[in-house]
Amino acid sequence: MPQRTAVHTDIRPAAQEDITELVRLRALLFEDLGGAYFNPPSGDGGWRDALAVVLKDQLAAGSTRILVVDGDAGLAACAIGSVEQRLPGPHLPSGRVGLVIGVVTDPAHRRRGHSRSLLAGLLDWFREREVARVDLYASHEGEPLYRDLGFVDHPDPALYWRP
């Protein structure tokens, strides 16, 4: 396993001019995850245009945070998080749930601590918004980092439905 290079990672909020790079990194994430769920055979690539539109809107929304690390020619890494307001309950006093939507680093910039720095920035943002819980779906490669930062198995069984 390659050794991690210790470097200081400067993170910043994403800006409108980062949208093309954010779409590129999101596509890398799906390529890394693989399989028919993330890369359906009928996929036509039109999702990238739709993603660019949504990212533009989300950059202006207070319920989404997109953090990036600059690389030599484009973005080295990004992390996206959102806050959803649900109904409060005894297990969810504020009703606010954070979701880490994705953390991805360009292959040329991996093993430098970018994901850890970006995720730490997102966790600070979630704390500021007093979320009761932060959820994420971890890849096999990312799971050790998330567990190291305090993420544990979710107590609820997860099911999903696609119309």
Percent of the chain with pLDDT over 90: 64
Residue 157 in domain: no
Q: Is residue 122 part of a domain?
A: yes
Residues 133 and 38: their CA atoms lie apart, in Å, by 25
- Is the residue at 113 inside a domain? yes
Return the amino acid letter for 80: I
Q: What is the CATH number of the domain that holds 53?
A: 3.40.630.30
Q: What is the mean pLDDT of the chain?
A: 87
Please give the C-alpha separations between residue 119 and each of 72, 122, 129, in angstroms, as whole numbers.
21, 5, 15
Asked whether the predicted pLDDT for residue 97 surpasses 70, the reply is yes
- Domain carrying residue 23: 11-148
Radius of gyration (C-alpha) of the chain in whole angstroms: 16
Does some domain include residue 156? no
Give a yes or no: residue 4 inside a domain. Answer: no
| Number of independent structural domains in the chain | 1
pLDDT at 15 over 50: yes
CA angle, residues 140, 125, 119, in degrees to nearest 5: 25
SS3 helix, strand, coil % of the chain, rounded to 5?
A: 35, 25, 40
In the prediction, which pLDDT does 162 show? 75
Q: Is residue 159 part of a domain?
A: no
What pLDDT, in 10s, does the model give residues 22-79? 999 998 888 777 655 665 555 667 888 999 999 999 998 878 999 999 999 899 999 9
Which of 106, 81, 85, 72 lies closest to 14, judged by CA? 81
Do the domain assignments include residue 155?
Answer: no
Neighbours of 13 (CB within 10 A): 12
- Residue 83: other Cβ atoms inside 10 A: 21
